[in-house]
Amino acid sequence: MYQPDYCPQLLPCSIQFNICKNLYLSSIKRIIMQLAYLKISVSIFAMWFASNVLLHAQDPFFNQFFHNESSFNPSLVGYKGGFGFQAAFKNQWEASDVRAFRSGRFSLEESMPCSVFDYGINMGFNEEGEGILRRVDLGFRFAGTIPFSVGDAWHNIRIGAGLQWSQNSIDFSRLTFSDQLDPKYGLFNRMGIVNPTSFVPPNEGYSNWFLTPSAGISHRILLDHTNPRSGTILYGLAFHNAFSLNSGNLTGNEESILGTGEKIPPRFSLFATYEFIPWMNNRQFLAVRPLLVTELQSKISYLQAGFRTSFNRFLAAGVYYHTNRRPEEGVNTSWMTFKVEFGWTIPNGARVELGLAYSSNLSGLRNYLNNTIEMSMGVYFPISPSCNLAGKSDQVPYGSHTRCVTSLITPGRYKMYESIWTP
């Protein structure tokens, strides 16, 4: 039995026993009071954590800009020059005792050379934490092109928008609440059964469906359309979660699961890339493409810089540096991404692209968590079902019709796409 150090030893046994018993009970009461204070502190911390992290989560993101272009800027939807499917999956920050953060997306996009418009539909998910904070996205994106020329340079200004709805959810059964902690047995009772909680998740742990719209503009410049080796400049700006139509389900932008009124913060995205051909011989070529991406959301800034080198659209490799920080803390989290891509043509002229990116932490959690792996896949067909249904030619100009190895140009409309089709 616990005996305080200051229990008197020189008094008669009966008096000594009573004094020691009272001191012991007093010590037990202090311990119980400390446990109660701990429960209150845990509750306050949990509410603070939920309001600042769980209920104010950042948008899902991918390390690879290429293969995820329209998720960064909706004006890039359907700019591959065909009818295609894209999918991506990312596994981040996994450890033996830490559940990985996982993100995935799937999209169907169509280029319509017979029209000024292109479109796509998209869906995605993001999972994080032991309570499996999950976000689901469903949306539609479209873009229109304004072509013009200045001398030998051809320009395309693309203006795009996205209507997207998202929902957050938490599996509260995986979390522990303060009223489940017994002063003596902890989380379990004396029978080894988990203590129940009085907390009842609102709406069964789901938020309302909230509106996460986006708008973007990009500018593509083919510097000299008469030169097959002409370089191409592409840059753009996008706004995400910029507005809501109203409050409430489907029309508002409240992302809170607990109904606290927390709204999803806007995200701003800027990118710039330039592709040039340092070597070309009999339609065999080497392309180099530097890239710069920067984003800002809820005072968290993000920067990506690097370059990709490709040979004939069959094989590509890239290296990129990433960093983000909270300005008031001044601490960066940095990592490097190494990426390889493969592309080939299958029967009927379709093209398959595979990408694998491996990201290694340079700071922050590098000694505690595993690195990030991201995979992507795209399948593209040189057709336009919408143009075909409209009674117009559905064939996207590709292969021997490609006038420039960096840009695919639609005859008559001077509408430019990414030249993914191998000459």
Q: For the segment 195-241, what is each residue's pLDDT rounded down to a tens digit?
A: 888 888 888 899 999 999 999 999 999 999 889 889 999 999 999 99
Residue 331, pLDDT score = 65
User: Does the pLDDT of residue 399 top 80, yes or no?
Assistant: no
Residue 3, pLDDT score = 37
Last residue of a domain, one of 52, 72, 88: 52
User: Does the pLDDT of residue 156 top 90, yes or no?
Assistant: yes
251: confidence class by pLDDT, cuts 50, 70, 90: confident
Bigger pLDDT: 250 or 20? 250
Q: What are 2-35's pLDDT values in tens digits?
A: 333 333 444 444 444 444 444 444 444 443 444 3
398: confidence class by pLDDT, cuts 50, 70, 90: low
Calculate what percentage of the chain has a pLDDT beyond 90: 44
| Mean of the per-residue pLDDT values of the chain | 81
192: confidence class by pLDDT, cuts 50, 70, 90: confident
Q: Do the domain assignments include residue 37?
A: yes
Same domain, yes or no: 310 and 202:
yes
CB half-sphere exposure, 410, CA atoms < 13 A:
30
Overall average pLDDT of the 77-104 stretch:
86
State the burial class of residue 216 (Cβ atoms within 10 Å of its Cβ: 0-12, 13-18, 19+): buried
Residue 155, pLDDT score = 96
Bigger pLDDT: 167 or 97? 167
Same domain, yes or no: 152 and 292:
yes
Q: What single-letter DSSP state applies at residue 396?
A: P
Nearest to 219 by CA among 156, 273, 270: 156
Residue 44, pLDDT score = 36
Same domain, yes or no: 15 and 142:
no
Bigger pLDDT: 398 or 113? 113
Same domain, yes or no: 171 and 78:
yes
Bigger pLDDT: 174 or 305? 305
Q: Do the domain assignments include residue 251?
A: yes
Q: What are 335-349's pLDDT values in tens digits?
A: 999 999 999 988 878
Residue 152, pLDDT score = 92
Nearest to 407 by CA among 85, 155, 143, 75: 155
Same domain, yes or no: 141 and 174:
yes
Q: What are 273-311's pLDDT values in tens digits?
A: 999 999 998 778 999 999 999 999 888 899 999 999 999
User: Does the pLDDT of residue 47 top 60, yes or no?
Assistant: no
Same domain, yes or no: 178 and 76:
yes
Same domain, yes or no: 11 and 82:
no
Bigger pLDDT: 83 or 28? 83
Residue 45, pLDDT score = 35
Bigger pLDDT: 413 or 356? 356
CATH number reported for the structural domain that contains residue 157 in this entry = 2.40.160.40
Overall average pLDDT of the 149-155 stretch:
94
Same domain, yes or no: 27 and 80:
no
The most confident of 4-13, 164-173, 178-187, 367-376, by mean pLDDT? 164-173
Q: Do the domain assignments include residue 175?
A: yes
Q: How far is CA 404 from CA 150, 218, 280, in A?
A: 17, 20, 12
Bigger pLDDT: 422 or 6? 422
Overall average pLDDT of the 89-98 stretch:
79
Same domain, yes or no: 145 and 215:
yes
412: confidence class by pLDDT, cuts 50, 70, 90: low
Nearest to 340 by CA among 61, 60, 62, 67: 67
User: Does the pLDDT of residue 372 top 60, yes or no?
Assistant: yes
- Residue in this structure with the two tokens 């592709």, named with its chain if needed: 275
Residue 107, pLDDT score = 96
Same domain, yes or no: 346 and 261:
yes
Overall average pLDDT of the 159-184 stretch:
89
Bigger pLDDT: 416 or 182? 416
Last residue of a domain, one of 30, 52, 74: 52
In this structure, the chain runs to a length of 423
User: Does the pLDDT of residue 417 top 50, yes or no?
Assistant: yes
Cα separation, 327 vs 338, in Å, equals 27
394: confidence class by pLDDT, cuts 50, 70, 90: low
Cα separation, 234 vs 220, in Å, equals 4
How many folded domains does the chain comprise? 2
Cα separation, 269 vs 236, in Å, equals 8
Residue 25, pLDDT score = 45
Domain that holds residue 6: 1-52
Residue 367, pLDDT score = 59
Q: Which long-range contacts (CB under 8 A, 24 or more apart) does 241-246 make?
A: 241/59, 241/212, 241/213, 241/214, 241/265, 241/266, 241/267, 242/213, 242/214, 242/215, 242/266, 243/213, 244/210, 244/211, 245/211
Residue 328, pLDDT score = 58
Cα separation, 411 vs 230, in Å, equals 18
User: Does the pLDDT of residue 362 top 60, yes or no?
Assistant: yes
Q: Do the domain assignments include residue 280?
A: yes
The most confident of 76-80, 100-104, 256-260, 288-292, by mean pLDDT? 288-292
